[in-house]
Chain A
Amino acid sequence: GQNIDQPTEMTATEGAIVQINCTYQTSGFNGLFWYQQHAGEAPTFLSYNVLDGLEEKGRFSSFLSRSKGYSYLLLKELQMKDSASYLCAVPSEGFQKLVFGTGTRLLVSP
């Protein structure tokens, strides 16, 4: 089965950099997703990593280490609109069942 762990809550200030960590245990690895979910809205796709290393996409980057079962989402130049929950998820083997972590609620203050 899959098991995912991420911090419950983080705070940061506008303009800063924040790193949200995710550790996972999975019986078979099919990549790792990060989703963003604003309060009262649907989760939206941010990134998908299947190979080790850092993938950059504008202000957001995602890192994966398969040997350590570890990923992080790096948010640079934080803006107020980045206040949201960030969900780490791993798909199961075979037909895709996305198993989500409990999410990290990020609060960006002025």
Chain B
Amino acid sequence: DTAVSQTPKYLVTQMGNDKSIKCEQNLGHDTMYWYKQDSKKFLKIMFSYNNKELIINETVPNRFSPKSPDKAHLNLHINSLELGDSAVYFCASSPSGIGGETQYFGPGTRLLVL
């Protein structure tokens, strides 16, 4: 059973398009995250949600809009895609988001903007 799943795994699109990435976790966790990993492999938090409520927004451009319909899902919609958005986007989850909890990562979505 896949704990944290993301779709699609690969996404190739043109500049200016709008795209969405979906994430689902079946671990029963309350907290979910979106990370961006750039070409230098630096992994940086973008957003976190706890029980559908936005907790962290790390000064991400407002072209990025996360949505959490329920605590098992956290989707990421990106408007007006730019070349610099090309990266790997990882979804993750943790039980409650407080303290030293292990985060479980999805397989990543490789976004290439042409």
Q: Tell whether A95 pairs with B43 under 8 Å between CB atoms, given A42-B107, A43-B105.
A: no
Q: Tell whether A33 pairs with B50 under 8 Å between CB atoms, given A85-B41, A95-B56, A97-B56.
A: no
A91 CB within 8 Å of chain B: yes
Q: A100 contacts B97, CB within 8 Å?
A: no
Total A-B pairs in contact (CB under 8 Å)? Answer: 63
B44 CB within 8 Å of chain A: yes
Say how far B71's CB is from chain A's closest CB, in angstroms. 15
Say how far A96's CB is from chain B's closest CB, in angstroms. 5
CA A48 – CA B31 in complex, angstroms? Answer: 19
Contact residues of B between 20 and 39, Cβ < 8 Å to A:
31, 33
Count residues on chain A whose CB falls below 8 Å from chain B CBs.
24
Q: A87 contacts B43, CB within 8 Å?
A: yes
Q: A30 contacts B100, CB within 8 Å?
A: yes
Q: B100 contacts A48, CB within 8 Å?
A: yes
Name the B residues within 8 Å of A43 (CB-CB).
Answer: 43, 90, 105
